[in-house]
Amino acid sequence: MRRRLALVSTLLVVSVSAQTAPPAVVLSAEGKVHADVRAFPGGPVGEAPGVLLRRARIEVTAEVDGRYRLVLEPDFGEGEVELKDGYVEADVGRALAARVGQFKTPAGYESLRSSSDLRFAERALPTALSPRRDLGAMLAWETPRVEVQVGVFNGVADGGSAYGEDGSTTLDGAARVFGYPVGSGASGARLGLGLAVVAGTERGADEAPAFDDYETPGERAVFTYAPGVRADGARLRVLPQATLDVGRLHVLGEWALARHRLDAPGGPTVLAHRAWQASASVVLLGVPRGDDRPIPRRSVTEGGAGAVEVSARVHGLTLDRDAGPLAPTASARQATAVGVAVHWSPVAQARLGLTAERTVFEPFGVAGAPEPETFVVLRAQLDL
């Protein structure tokens, strides 16, 4: 399977180099740095308290003849070096593009949003059930009113990403449709509705069970499978999603279902996990831009106050009741979180944000629930 993906990638590159005239090449670069001060007051501590360089990325794009693109985005954040995105893309025509390489699977709505435009320090719990970055090939059709993506991917665990070979032996198929049936601009209401489906099979092994822990936004494990449990058959993710923009108000709602067939010491079983979120943001100062973060109408350098946005959300994750015997006693069956955030952009490229979130847990059966988590993040970001 991987050889076939590599062949398609090679053909795209050859089609670029086979131009009869010297093609025009345009190079561009964008960068981002997100630095956090993180705290877990009055409770258990999640991952990376204190000061954290959350992201340090540079995205380099080479565009050839206005139709072909090579995109590379390495990340130097959190003390590691990873290639987040690396793909080639060709405009086929009639708003259709073909892409091959490593990039985001077309699945969860918030998972697909740029980290530079997030309303909270971390994504909500539906992202824990959505595949993230993966190696694959995709066709994308996009107009101002509708976007459609269809592709095949190596396949990753819920909430996971694959960088390079991950040992997967099968492919996942992914399809997503998102459109705006109501509204046409920022001046009035604009409703967006969409659905993503990712389906395939996966066979794990004891040393590589083909799934990850489910975590809170503070990267504290909600649920962990016990040793000896592994993926063994069909998996399906279904992710309906909706947005609403009315003037300065932006609303996001999404739901996620992840259904897996597992092999466990007690025999094969099928589990279905669910997650959801509802969030709302209001631009107090600045120019609203829907999904994208607001920008100042007048920046601080021009004598203005910049852009200010406040946000609130509630989100949750519920594990299948039959998953209880497959997890250590410390695992929770359900997590529910409530968060608030405020962001200020003195200029369009800079942003300072404060996020506070409280997550409570419910156990399986009569076992004691894990202690609640309070997660506070102060983030300074620069996006160029």
Report the pLDDT averaged over residues 29-36.
97
Residue 21 neighbours by CB under 8 Å, 6+ apart: none
pLDDT of residue 187: 55
pLDDT of residue 183: 76
Amino acid identity at 49: P
Please report, for residues 71, 110, 153, 210, 233, the alpha-carbon distance to residue 169 in angstroms, rounded to integers and kept in the order given: 26, 28, 11, 11, 12
Could you list the beta-strand ranges (E) of 122-248: 133-142, 146-153, 172-182, 190-203, 214-215, 221-223, 230-246
Q: Does the structure show a pLDDT above 80 at 262? A: yes
Residue pair 101/227 in contact by the 8 Å Cβ criterion: no
Percent pLDDT > 70 in the chain is 90
Residue pair 103/87 in contact by the 8 Å Cβ criterion: yes
pLDDT of residue 221: 86
Distance CA 205, CA 230 (A): 6
* pLDDT band (50, 70, 90) for residue 184: low
* pLDDT band (50, 70, 90) for residue 4: very low
* pLDDT band (50, 70, 90) for residue 366: low
Q: Does the structure show a pLDDT above 80 at 44? A: no
When the pLDDT of each residue in the chain is averaged and rounded to a whole number, the result is 89
* pLDDT band (50, 70, 90) for residue 70: very high
pLDDT of residue 163: 62
Percent pLDDT > 90 in the chain is 71
pLDDT of residue 164: 52
Residue 84 neighbours by CB under 8 Å, 6+ apart: 57, 73, 74, 75, 102, 133
pLDDT of residue 328: 77
pLDDT digits (tens, 9 = 90+) for 192-246: 999 999 999 988 877 777 788 899 998 888 888 888 888 889 999 999 999 999 9
pLDDT of residue 188: 75
Write down the H helix ranges in the chain: 2-17, 109-112
pLDDT of residue 207: 74
pLDDT of residue 76: 96
pLDDT digits (tens, 9 = 90+) for 291-328: 999 999 999 999 999 999 999 999 999 999 999 888 87
pLDDT digits (tens, 9 = 90+) for 118-166: 999 999 999 999 999 999 999 999 999 999 999 999 999 999 898 655 4
pLDDT of residue 71: 98
Residue 150 neighbours by CB under 8 Å, 6+ apart: 106, 138, 139, 174, 175, 176
* pLDDT band (50, 70, 90) for residue 10: very low
Could you list the beta-strand ranges (E) of 265-349: 267-285, 287-289, 292-295, 307-318, 332-345
Distance CA 306, CA 163 (A): 38
Residue pair 313/280 in contact by the 8 Å Cβ criterion: yes
* pLDDT band (50, 70, 90) for residue 49: confident
